[in-house]
Amino acid sequence: MKLGFSNFLTEHDLYAIENSLLGKRLFAQVEKSWRAANQIKSNALFWSTIWSSRTVFLLGMLSRICLMAFKYAQPFLIQRTIGFASNLDEDKAIGWGLTGAWCCVFIGLAIANAFYWHMTYQFVTAVRGSLISLIYDKTLDLSITAFDESIAVTLMSADTENICMNFASIHEMWASPIECGVALYLLYRQLGMAFLAPMVVAIVSTTGILMIAKYIANAQKRWVRGIQTRIDVTASMLGSMKEVKMLGLTDVLNNLVQSLRVRELDLSKKFRKLMCWRVLFQNSMEAIAPLATFATYVVISQETGNPLSTASAYTSLSLIYLLSNPMSTLIRTIPGMKASLACFDRMQGFLLSDSCKDHRLPLSVRDSRAQQEIRNFGPRAFSQDRASIELLDRSNEPSVVIGQPLMIVSDASFGWSKTEAPVLSNISFPIRKSHFTFVIGSVGSGKSTLMKALLGELQPYKGFVYTDARRIAFVDQKPWIQNLTIRQNILGISTYHKDWYDRVVHACGLEQDIAEMPDKDATKAGSGGVSLSGGQNQRLALARAIHSKAGVLILDDVFSGQDASTEEHIYRMLFSETGLLKELGTTVVCVTNAIHRLAYADHVVALSEHGTVQHQGTFEQLKNDTDYFSGLHLRQNGAAKEDGESSTANKESTSAPQGPEEETESANRALGELATYGYYFNTVPKWHVLLLVALTVLFGAAHKMTELLLSFWTGHSVITQQSVNNFYLGLYSMLAGLAIIGIMGAAVHYLVIMVPLSSEVLHARLLRTVMNAPLSFFSRMDVGVTTNRFSRDMSVIDTELPFALIDLAIDTSVTIMAVILMCVFSGYFVATLPPLAFFCWLLQRFYLRTSRQIRILELQANSPLFTQFLDTLQGLSSVRSFGWVKQFKEQHFQFLDASQRPYYLLFSIQRWLAVILDLAVAALATILMVLIVKLRDNFEPKFVAMALLNVTSFSQYLTQLIKNYTQLETSLGAVSRTKEFCSTTDSENLLGEVVTPPESWPSHGHVQIENLTAAYTTSGEPVLHEVSLEISAGFKVGVVGRSGSGKSSLMACLLRMLEVDSKSSIKFDGIDITTLPRQTVRASVAVVPQHPFFMKKTTVRDNLVPRGEQPEERILAVLKRLRMKDAVEKLGGLDSILDVERLSQGQRQLLCLARAILANKKIIFLDEASSNVDAKSEQLIRQVVQEEFVGCTVIAIAHRLGAVVDFDRVAVMGGGRVIEWDNPRELLKKESEFKRLWDLSSG
């Protein structure tokens, strides 16, 4: 606390967490408990979680019993103290004894309360660590055919937070009924049969909450599904922001995600309405129970003649409050526990979802007697858990002679769902030790499916995969890159050995790229490799696979992103007779579309478009099969492709200044919260806030005025003997009614009206800020950090903050009224208020400076957890194939422990605050008793009763107020983070970019570039230098060059994704695009990106025509032209949700081309549009570009020079400049850089 008051805290300043709360220990306990449970039984995970942390749970129960004892000592002390104040003849020594008793009770309450909540939050922290680790463990074991990444992220964030929030009150489920029973018994002793009145109220309230509890759980389920959909779409968008901006879809996705947010909030309204009933039932005890009790007593007293005495009334009222407090807590806890059980149910379903079982069999089984068992029982009899084999060291692999089969696929069929036809049917082929097996085939033939099957990720529909390979290095078609440094990505979990590392870097063609990076191999790759080009990402993933020295290497089309020189270098360094792979004796399976590289293959497997093996054998055998070979559309031109952004560009994207994530929050941690409250409440009209305040004040005033009324009632009742009962009962009823109106009105107005409005506005601000952020922001900011804002921060704003705020507002109103009444009925007590106020001011100054910082650290510490979850899900097959599951678990435990430290310490300092305030209340109670004893002659008994009642209830109100305040304080951190992020994140839209072009612009497609110099940031080094080009309308222009030449930077600049020098000019049809809004520019052209992007949870139609401007006939005609109509029909048609996982990379690229055709734009950008398709599909794309884009200006980055040789112009880039600009045929006639690249690619 002292350190936080005087300094800015970092994670290194936090105390180490207790050993009992370490992630590894918690996981071991909960896993043991979960495995021992009947997992298909309802609530099995719930009971397993409690049992795994039973020690701290039982200690919490013990402390709760002690707290109960101290609480129920108070009514007896009130009754005895009123008796002492009424009888002036009693010795003052009795009064001093009562003073000591009051002091002991309140100190006991402070200690028991502190220990109880300390144990409770230890339990909550243990539950959090247990559940998150259990979810992550299952994530590593998920079948790739079964998982939805949004589910895992939602479970570890929103659902876990929901459980932890509600588990803070779990002991109330057993303690509150006991307390209610004790209170009812004591009421019976005080009021006789009148005790039945509050019991009836309690029964009605409990019955009501139980009736709505099931509806609350169902409403929350629907709401959570809405949250999952929004997070899924948002995470997908954030992972592809470069493509989103290129395609000009920022406005479309902004509307889509915000509409999902609005729908989600609409789904939450039923839940919120039901929670308003919870608030009513929760607070009805304090408002209605006293009224019902005294009304019943009045009826009974008319028969007995016993008036309502001051001692009986206030002792009874104290007991009713002691009854209403646990009843209110119970009513609040029951829906929360039901909601938690629903979360546990979702988690249990997730844990029971399909695991990845390795159905591959050992080679020894193939010819052994066990073959008969296989025939009898099928492959399941021999299936293995992935975790049992994936970590075996390569030295433990069976010895296989070079050239002998290491893997055999035997009459196997594979697919992604048993309800659909297989993608691959009846395939058989061997993979031999230390041989290179190349797999070729047309788009959609099942090449990637085969690679997943070889990894053991897919279960065969029929047939078998036999293998003795233990560790397999896998490089996916879309490279899996973590937001780590270049070196860390290459090493993975391996140890750094400089000589071997340097050899791998050189062999994979990364040497020059790394040398040109600002921080060399310490440069961050960015989330998903956004800071690097496509080709660099492929080489980085390849380097990781080579560096691992795995015995088997599976490559899924990883050379499509390389220029001719780089591709030749890599093949020579890896696949030649002196290459690294030959040296290591590595077995390689390589998917490729580069037919001219098949000479490196020892064995070629050719798949037909129907998913069968059409041909297999050596490349010589393939060529001798004239019928098949002549049908192949061979690539006569090799790759001459620039791998995305230039190396120079990477200097900017990877060395950009630190984002606002750390800077602004660090600078504002210790600042006041008034600005945050203002920011939050400014999201709704001011009259909403004023009405909320008025309603809460109405409740507090009306509720506490009943106690004042009771003092006059008891006084007059004794004098008039019953005649005034009806009068006071009517007044009491009116005040109780006003209290109910106030509480219900405040709940409905805030939870149902204000919260959805506020949440919608906050999300819109956050989304708008992200969508307007420059490309450099996404290269330096981890996707997990930004996803955390949309997931956990929004969840906190939607759930935790509203209930904490409404409860705090109610408690604050009542507490202030209690203090006022204490002062009114004990005038000398007013003297304690100035020092008390000064003490509270000092306390909040001291406490808040630390708590705010720990709150921010706690929120920030969740980001690495989010990032690891997302990284793991995106690279699940790679993690398992490399055998890195154990290491990723260890890393997860480190991230989990790092997040648990501030999470637990925040609870700890909140307990410190509670102890201090509880002791302050003990001091107030002692002072009040001293005044009563010293000035007994000056106090009327009814005033003593009022003061004592309020000091005891003040303790309860303060306890609840502290709990709600600390909850609000934690929740408010999400609003603070949103506020700081929105105010400090730069926008790509600059002043002056406001010109509105004509509606039909550009109508011709004339492009004029003059003296173009550009950088990734306004203060960065230029990546383009003095580029000047003029492209006539309707021309087709190719942009080529070696790696790092600046081709992709030129395209990014034309799409306004770079910052242009003030002397530069880019004009489309005579209008300078640097004066236009950037989204306007991007939406006015059509783009086919290198990496296909599609909006999740939307239909095929919406993805093809995102702005809905094409008739169905036209869409179907384009799909038929691209031979994609059948594939779309298999997905369910145009109005079915697009599931891109069921499409190959080549099919996705063809859909992107269809989207560009349907856009009907005059300027078309093709960013390596044929990089992931076979030669036949490439030829189709060339024809479509020539025929469909007639009259359009086409600017294409070419990875195959044959694609642009018939274009009107070609720009050859080098060093960020245009070094050649001419007709490609003319350049081939002379000694030019273009001719040199052509000759190199032609071999």
Q: Is the pLDDT of residue 1140 over 90?
A: no
Give the model confidence (pLDDT) of 498-520 as tens digits: 999 999 999 988 888 888 777 88
Does residue 741 lie in a domain region?
yes
Alpha-carbon dihedral sign for residues 1136, 1139, 1144, 1149: positive
Q: 1164, 1195 in Cβ contact below 8 A?
A: yes
In DSSP notation, 1208-1240 reads: SEEEEEETTEEEEEE-HHHHHTSS-HHHHHHHH
Mean pLDDT of the chain: 81
Q: pLDDT confidence of 762, banded at 50, 70, 90?
A: very high
Task: Taking each helix axis as running N to C, give the angle between helix 74-86 and helix 92-141, from 0 to 180 degrees, rounded to the nearest 10.
Answer: 160
Listed in sequence order, the residues at least 6 apart from 473 whose beta carbon sits closer than 8 Å to its beta carbon are 544, 545, 546, 548, 550, 552, 553, 554, 881, 882
Degrees to nearest 5, angle at CA 291 with 287 and 297 = 150
- CATH number, domain containing residue 171: 1.20.1560.10
- When divided into structural domains, the chain yields a total of 3
Does residue 557 lie in a domain region?
yes
Does residue 1030 lie in a domain region?
no
Give the model confidence (pLDDT) of 721-743 as tens digits: 555 677 878 888 898 889 889 98
Query: In this predicted structure, what is the pLDDT of residue 660?
Result: 38
The pair of three-digit structure tokens given for residue 163, joined into one six-digit string: 């459980």
253 and 304 share one domain: yes
Token pair 């959090």: residue: 128
In residues, how long is the chain? 1243
Closest CA to 26 of 869, 866, 893: 893
Strand-pair category, 1209-1214 with 1036-1041: parallel
Most confident of 153-162, 381-390, 627-636: 153-162
| Mean per-residue pLDDT, 632-636 | 46
Query: Rounded to an integer, what distance in angstroms lies between the CA atom of residue 1189 and that of residue 1212?
Result: 23
Does residue 854 lie in a domain region?
yes
Q: 788, 727 in Cβ contact below 8 A?
A: no
Q: Is the pLDDT of residue 650 over 70?
A: no
634 and 490 share one domain: yes
Q: Is the pLDDT of residue 80 over 90?
A: no
Query: In this predicted structure, what is the pLDDT of residue 307?
Result: 62
* pTM of the shown model: 0.72
Does residue 1196 lie in a domain region?
no
520 and 603 share one domain: yes
Q: 866, 899 in Cβ contact below 8 A?
A: no
174 and 273 share one domain: yes
639 and 724 share one domain: no
Q: Between the CA of residue 463 and those of 360, 474, 997, 1016, what are the distances in Å?
A: 10, 23, 62, 53
The pair of three-digit structure tokens given for residue 1242, joined into one six-digit string: 């032609």
- Which residue, of 984, 1008, 1029, is where some domain finishes? 984
Containing 930, the helix (H) or strand (E) segment is helix 885-934
- Which residue, of 949, 984, 1019, is where some domain finishes? 984
Query: Rounded to an integer, what distance in angstroms lies between the CA atom of residue 284 and that of residue 251?
Result: 48
Query: In this predicted structure, what is the pLDDT of residue 946?
Result: 67
641 and 696 share one domain: no
601 and 675 share one domain: no
Give the model confidence (pLDDT) of 41-53 as tens digits: 888 999 999 999 9
Query: In this predicted structure, what is the pLDDT of residue 631?
Result: 57
Q: Is the pLDDT of residue 377 over 60?
A: no
Q: Is the pLDDT of residue 1217 over 70?
A: yes
Query: In this predicted structure, what is the pLDDT of residue 385?
Result: 44
Give the model confidence (pLDDT) of 195-229 as tens digits: 788 888 888 887 887 788 778 878 888 888 888 88
Query: In this predicted structure, what is the pLDDT of residue 118?
Result: 92
Query: In this predicted structure, what is the pLDDT of residue 394?
Result: 38
Give the model confidence (pLDDT) of 220-270 as tens digits: 888 888 888 898 899 889 888 888 999 999 999 999 999 999 999 999 999
Query: Cα(first)–Cα(last) distance of the chain, in Å?
Result: 70
Share of the chain above pLDDT 90, in %: 22
- Which residue, of 963, 984, 1005, is where some domain finishes? 984
510 and 534 share one domain: yes
Closest CA to 1211 of 1045, 1082, 1069: 1045
Query: Rounded to an integer, what distance in angstroms lies between the CA atom of residue 1145 and that of residue 451?
Result: 14
Query: In this predicted structure, what is the pLDDT of residue 303?
Result: 66
Token pair 């939406």: residue: 1083
Listed in sequence order, the residues at least 6 apart from 301 whose beta carbon sits closer than 8 Å to its beta carbon are 307, 308, 722, 725
Q: pLDDT confidence of 471, banded at 50, 70, 90?
A: confident
Does residue 934 lie in a domain region?
yes
Q: Is the pLDDT of residue 386 over 60?
A: no
Query: In this predicted structure, what is the pLDDT of residue 296?
Result: 80
Query: In this predicted structure, what is the pLDDT of residue 952?
Result: 72
Give the model confidence (pLDDT) of 651-697 as tens digits: 434 333 333 344 444 444 444 467 888 899 999 999 999 999 999 99
Q: pLDDT confidence of 129, banded at 50, 70, 90?
A: very high
Query: Rounded to an integer, what distance in angstroms lies between the CA atom of residue 721 and that of residue 304?
Result: 12
Q: Is the pLDDT of residue 761 over 90?
A: yes
Q: Choose the weakest-confidence range: 111-120, 393-402, 684-693.
A: 393-402
Does residue 428 lie in a domain region?
no
Q: 462, 374 in Cβ contact below 8 A?
A: no
621 and 481 share one domain: yes
667 and 648 share one domain: no
642 and 727 share one domain: no
268 and 125 share one domain: yes
Does residue 709 lie in a domain region?
yes
Q: 297, 320 in Cβ contact below 8 A?
A: no
606: domain range?
433-464+471-654
Give the model confidence (pLDDT) of 1150-1201 as tens digits: 899 999 999 999 999 998 877 666 667 777 888 888 888 888 999 998 777 7
Q: Choose the weakest-confidence range: 230-244, 264-278, 477-491, 552-566.
A: 552-566
**In the 8-state DSSP scheme, what is residue 994?**
-
Query: In this predicted structure, what is the pLDDT of residue 150?
Result: 67
Q: Choose the weakest-confidence range: 384-393, 777-786, 989-998.
A: 384-393
**Main-chain dihedrals φ then ψ at residue 690, nearest 5 degrees:** -65, -40
Query: In this predicted structure, what is the pLDDT of residue 755?
Result: 93
Q: Is the pLDDT of residue 353 over 90?
A: no
